């Protein structure tokens, strides 16, 4: 029996139907993912003093002397929310914008400044664009003291204290991993290591030698050496994906990789090729914004550092202050990853191999992986008082 021949036209039609079916299936999966992440974000942001804007066509403007904020939920123009705040009866302190398009009007900038609201703008790459603080105070005396301290032994004292606090936080993060080591998903991680003792012991021993260092450069080398050991202990921690996603994602997405990205132009942690580090970079960008806000409001000059080298048109003092909180962010992102089973669409890959986060996952990270502003303000006040007491 001879089977009938299928014409090229019919073959093309069948292929077109298959492509449309795949597209609709992927769209439905994306909607389910976004709905899941949106619910988690809403739970985290309930009763919060922060608004997170995302999607396309978001705006912040003044309407009837109130601040009107519009943004889309799950990137859908059919699911748009409008919030209106009135002077003196709101509790909002921050508006974080991660939208791809939209605007903030000039009268809205004035309105937020008068109401003590900081507007933080991040892009989808996890980079800080700008921070609009209620005050843009500058203190000439503080700037002078910063310059003076950066060229004196006080710079070494401050640098040691920043790295001491960072190392202690790293110790706590390593201890937190023990909470998950017994679980089945950590089987490969356990098999790849033989511990003669708790992994944080080295850091505890080394931090006691920090006070013996006699230069800022020696402190930088000390920090770099401990960082290599610290990140090696995080390397290999499993990342959970559902069964459908595991069939199509790259193998190196299944566990935390080394901190240095293989696709980075500058051979550093930027342009992350691993989901964890992509999420971490985004959380760090928010930390950078929070530190810049605290430094600006304190009257310190964000461009004059003590630990990091001065760079033209860079906020190097922000990098100094961030050191105290990086390990805390590391822990928060690890905790988020351990309680989440990711799906296809939570992450996507650029042609270069760089990993990006979905819109809803970015909002969830902002909601879940933040250091409270009070703690950062306290750290900046310590720095300010140290300078004034010299």
What is the reported pLDDT for 23?
A: 56
Q: Work out the burial of residue 328: count CB atoms within 10 Å of its CB; fewer than 13 is exposed, 13-18 middle, 19 or more buried.
A: buried
Considering 16-20, 57-61, 292-296, the range whose residues carry the highest mean pLDDT is 292-296
Residues 199 and 80 in one domain: no
Per-residue confidence (pLDDT) for residue 263, from 0 to 100: 84
- Model pLDDT, residue 21: 63
> Which domain does 94 fall in, by range?
50-122
User: How many other CB atoms sit within 10 Å of the CB of residue 332?
Assistant: 20
Assign residue 70 the CATH number of its domain.
3.100.10.20
107-153 confidence digits (pLDDT tens): 999 999 999 999 999 988 888 999 998 876 677 889 999 999 999 99
Number of structural domains in the chain:
2
- Residue-wise pLDDT for 212-260, tens only, equals 999 999 999 999 999 999 999 999 999 999 999 999 999 999 999 999 8
Residue 12 lies in a domain: no
Judgement on whether residues 118 and 151 belong to the same structural domain of the protein: no
**344 in the same domain as 376:** yes
Q: Is residue 39 part of a domain?
A: no
d(CA 191, CA 53): 43
Give residue-wise pLDDT tens across range 163-221.
999 999 999 999 988 777 667 677 777 777 766 678 889 899 999 999 999 999 999 99
Q: At what angle are helices 326-338 and 275-298 packed, to 10 degrees?
A: 140
**What CATH number is associated with residue 296?**
1.20.120.920
Cβ–Cβ under 8 Å, residues 112 and 96:
no
Residue 128 lies in a domain: no
Residue 132: inside a domain, yes or no?
no
Q: What is the pTM of this model?
A: 0.86
* Interval 77-88: pLDDT, tens: 566 778 899 999
């Amino acid at each position: 029996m001879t089977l009938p021949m299928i014409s090229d036209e019919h073959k093309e039609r069948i292929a077109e139907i298959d492509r449309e079916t795949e597209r609709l299936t992927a769209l439905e999966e994306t909607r389910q993912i976004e709905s899941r992440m949106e619910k988690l974000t809403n739970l985290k942001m309930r009763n919060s003093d922060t608004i997170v804007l995302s999607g396309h066509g978001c705006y912040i403007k003044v309407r009837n002397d109130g601040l009107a904020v519009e943004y889309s939920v799950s990137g859908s123009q059919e699911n748009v929310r409008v919030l209106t705040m009135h002077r003196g009866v709101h509790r909002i302190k921050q508006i974080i914008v991660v939208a791809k398009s939209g605007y903030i009007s000039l009268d809205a900038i004035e309105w937020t400044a008068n109401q003590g609201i900081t507007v933080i703008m991040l892009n989808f790459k996890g980079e800080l664009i700008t921070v609009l603080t209620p005050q843009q105070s500058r203190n000439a005396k503080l700037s002078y003291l910063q310059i003076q301290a950066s060229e004196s032994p006080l710079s070494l004292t401050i640098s040691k204290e920043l790295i001491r606090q960072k190392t202690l936080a790293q110790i706590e993060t390593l201890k937190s991993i023990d909470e998950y080591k017994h679980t089945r998903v950590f089987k490969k991680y356990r098999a790849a290591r033989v511990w003669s003792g708790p992994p944080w012991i080295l850091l505890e021993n080394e931090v006691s030698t920090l006070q013996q260092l006699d230069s800022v450069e020696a402190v930088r080398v000390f920090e770099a050496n401990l960082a290599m050991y610290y990140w090696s202990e995080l390397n290999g921690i499993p990342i959970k994906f559902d069964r459908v996603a595991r069939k199509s994602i790259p193998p190196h997405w299944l566990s935390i990789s080394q901190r240095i990205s293989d696709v980075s132009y500058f051979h550093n942690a930027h342009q992350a090729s691993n989901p964890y580090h992509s999420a971490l970079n985004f959380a760090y960008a928010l930390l950078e914004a929070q530190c810049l806000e605290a430094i600006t409001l304190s009257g310190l000059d964000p461009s004059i550092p003590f630990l990091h080298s001065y760079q033209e048109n860079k906020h190097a003092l922000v990098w100094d202050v961030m050191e105290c909180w990086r390990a805390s962010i590391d822990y928060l992102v690890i905790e988020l990853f351990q309680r989440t089973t990711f799906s296809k669409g939570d992450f996507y890959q650029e042609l270069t191999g760089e990993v990006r986060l979905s819109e809803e996952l970015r909002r969830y990270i902002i909601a879940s992986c933040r250091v409270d502003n009070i703690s950062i303000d306290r750290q900046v006040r310590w720095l300010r008082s140290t300078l004034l007491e010299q």
